Structure 1
Amino acid sequence: MTQDIKIVEAPEGYEGSGFFATSFDKVVGLARSHSLWPLPFATSCCGIEFMSTMASRYDLARFGSERPSFSPRQADMLLVAGTIAKKMAPILKQVYLQMAEPRWVIAIGACASSGGIFDTYSVLQGIDRVIPVDVYVPGCPPRPEQILEGIMQVRELTHNESLRRRNGPEYQALLASYNIQ
């Protein structure tokens, strides 16, 4: 099994004898992308796949996320895995609101993304009905490699995101559409 090794490049800037100058946005983006603290919100079989993603075979720790947080106040990446009942929607929203900005959300599996095979009155048909989602990971359940790819996409978002994006009018309008202030 061969894997492509991605070499982390230094932020673009000016380099000289004994110094390197770049923008603050790029340094913060680089730091954020290598220190994401996930908060697993797992309810069913997708949670089992996330557990194997954290285990030694797939080793999420090599990407800077070895510390799963079980307190929303200490996490910046919410991993929603599994079926979410409509009665759990306010709890999920409260967990999201307790996370400090900036925060990113990954919907893992068909159930979290669209309700999956459970098209019933009691199942939420996608978590994007209550909180904004940054990355969707398809599958029922998705393989650990797919979950890692979703986390890599969030890392790419954090690395390239401007510090001002989360304070911009587009992002504030998105939060207002979910009744999040």
Structure 2
Amino acid sequence: MMYRILREVLRLGKVGEKPPRTQRDPASASPSCFRHSLGIRHVDAGSCNGCELELNALNGPHYNLEQAGFRFTASPRHADVLTVSGPVTRHMAAALQDCHTAMPAPRRVIAIGDCACDGGVFQGSYAVVGKVAAVLPVDLQISGCPPDPDALLRGLLRISGEQVNS
């Protein structure tokens, strides 16, 4: 059984697709130090985990996030970008601010999903502070419930200083 699987892997080779073709945008507001390399720290501030499933899809062989030069980090001290999903709950507001201040400058914040962008269905709840922009300065919003991996990859490419050709 194992030999059959190994033969199939050798026959197929690499099945990941190349990231979308990009071209440099000299007028981009992102620093050039982010080009082709980006450390991502993700924080779930109170979401339903739909956005996390789509973020995890980026690490699979179809999207191959690392081929584009992006990687998830376990520590905010090694991250360039903070991605936040879900509305910010009262108990996560301080932890989110601590994570943001632990990141080295220059740092970027991406709000992922409708809940992070405007509060979504949780807007007005007693347990929710609100959208991410109410707690941190947000550089990019990727809307959708949940946003698909293509939209997430385009957003990461945009924040890294690349301009995506659709």
For 1:63, the aligned partner's letter is: A
Question: Which range is displaced more, 92-101 or 112-121?
Answer: 112-121
* 2:72 alignment counterpart: 68
Normalising by the residue count of structure 2, what TM-score does the alignment of the two structures yield? 0.75
Structure 2 CA distance for partners of 1:74 and 1:45, relative to 1, 3 Å: same
Is the 8 Å Cα contact of residues 80 and 106 (structure 2) preserved in structure 1? Answer: yes
Between stretches 33-42 and 80-89, larger displacement belongs to 80-89
Higher relative contact order (Cα pairs below 8 Å, separated by 6+ residues): 2
1:39 corresponds to 2:44: no
Residue in 1 that maps onto 2:98: 94
Shift of 1:84: 2.6
* Structure 1 residue 83, shift from structure 2 partner: 3.5
What is the DSSP-based 3-state SS (H/G/I as helix, E as strand, rest coil) of the residue aligned with 1:70?
coil
3-state SS, counterpart of residue 117 of structure 1: helix
- Is contact 2:55-2:152 (8 Å) kept? yes
What TM-score comes out, normalization by structure 1 length? 0.69
Name the counterpart of 1:15. Answer: none
In the other structure, the counterpart of 2:111 is: 107
CA distance in 2, matches of 1:6, 1:137: 19
1:4 Cα deviation (Å)? 5.4
- Find the aligned partners of 2:87 and 2:56 in 1 and give their Cα distance: 16
Q: Identity rate of aligned residues, in percent?
A: 34
Q: Cα offset for 1:59?
A: 1.4
Bigger share in helix: 1
Residue identity in the other structure for 1:33: R
Contact 2:18 2:67 in 1 (8 A): no
More strand by share: 2
Provide the C-alpha distance between the structure 1 equivalents of 2:101 and 2:107, rounded to a whole number of angstroms: 9
Structure 1 gaps of 5+ residues are 12-27, 158-181
